[in-house]
Amino acid sequence: MYDENELIQACMRGERLAQKRLYDKFAGKLYAISLRYMKSQDEAGDVLQEAFIKIFHRLDSFRFDCPLEVWMRRIVINTALTAISRRKINYQLEEFEYHGADENLGLENLAYESLMKWINALPDGCRTVFNLYAIEGYKHTEIAEMLGISEGTSKSQFSRARSILMEKIELENSKLQDR
């Protein structure tokens, strides 16, 4: 059995068993990340496949200055963002006023599947910014640079996504109370 450093070295030597182990170890987590950005399972699978090709080709550039999973997550996110931009998504949607309130969305009692369904149903720009900000932890300045948009657009897209999700949560909560 390989430790992580040995696994990386074996993958760089082109050992197929090591590559399969690396894939098996991380594919599930990385697919979940890809699925948050893409509209369908097929698109998410394509992004995952493309990301793993990049990972295997770029392993020699991994500097061991962060956990391997963090490095791989970044590749998946960048691959997903590239796929989105290939579809020529217009991130410059109508500017919405950003109020800056970071109130709790009330997600504690919400089923994961419902939340993911709602996130995936968000408009593309909102979904991408929401994932990058709320889930991945990027700052709006970083998101703006990554997506080639203004910081204000990033904030407005997040605000819009949050509003849409709040409406869904409030509707779900009222349905639960009516039962």
Q: What is the pLDDT of residue 87?
A: 63
Q: What is the pLDDT of residue 49?
A: 96
Q: What is the pLDDT of residue 1?
A: 61
Cα–Cα dist 132/158, whole Å = 9
User: Domain range for residue 172?
Assistant: 112-178
Q: What is the pLDDT of residue 97?
A: 35
> Are 75 and 136 contained in the same domain?
no
Which residue do the tokens 């997550």 mark? 73
pTM of the model: 0.63
pLDDT, one tens digit for every residue, the chain (179 residues): 678 889 999 999 999 999 999 999 999 999 999 999 998 899 999 999 999 999 999 999 998 888 999 999 999 999 998 888 766 433 333 333 333 444 444 444 456 677 788 888 899 899 999 989 988 889 999 999 988 899 999 999 999 999 998 888 888 777 767 66
Q: What is the pLDDT of residue 110?
A: 54
> Are 68 and 131 contained in the same domain?
no
> Are 11 and 70 contained in the same domain?
yes
Is residue 106 one of the residues assigned to a domain? no
Residue 171 sits in a domain whose CATH number is 1.10.10.10
Residue 93 near residue 159 (C-beta atoms within 8 A): no
> Are 24 and 58 contained in the same domain?
yes
Is residue 107 one of the residues assigned to a domain? no
Q: What is the pLDDT of residue 115?
A: 78
Which residue do the tokens 């997040």 mark? 158
